[in-house]
Amino acid sequence: MGASYSQFSTFTLDSLNDNYTPEDKAAFEVERSLTQRKLSKNLKGRSELVWPPALESALLRGLGEYDSLYGQHRTERGLKKWPKRNNWISEFILQETNKLRTSKQVGSRIQQLAAATKDLHCN
């Protein structure tokens, strides 16, 4: 196995330094209030976030684009997995932002966002 692409380290809003914009800090606060979890993590050996707001926005746009292109076939497939979806979204993010996020990172983030949305609708 190769080296891990990301190392997960959590932090509090108080530990955010001046490298983060007020918009980033506000996004972290919203995320924490919705999920009651700290989901913001840094890339291994860097202070760069794995999912800053711009990348998360690209992820959501990619998910919407994928759904509009391939979603019409869902009824045929039912609830089966979409094995190429995360790869497609990973490529979309790379083209949009010039930042690489692996298909595993994409899938994990989609699961986190789905859980946060479910939690939000349950309250």
In a domain, 6, yes or no: no
Q: How far apart are CA 103 and CA 91, in angstroms?
A: 9
Could you report the per-residue pLDDT of 69-118, keeping only the tens digit for each?
A: 877 655 555 445 666 899 999 999 999 999 999 999 999 888 888 887 77
In a domain, 87, yes or no: yes
- Contact present, 41 and 49 (Cβ < 8 Å): yes
What are the Cα distances from residue 117, in Å, to 12, 28, 62, 73?
Answer: 22, 15, 18, 24
Number of domains in the chain: 1
- More reliable by pLDDT, 72 or 66: 66
In a domain, 26, yes or no: yes
- This prediction's pTM: 0.59
Q: What is the DSSP string of 2-54?
A: ---S-------GGG--TTS-HHHHHHHHHHHHHHSS----BPTTSS-BSS-HH
In a domain, 8, yes or no: no
Range of the domain at 70: 13-122
Residue 31's CB is within 10 A of a number of other CB atoms, namely: 20
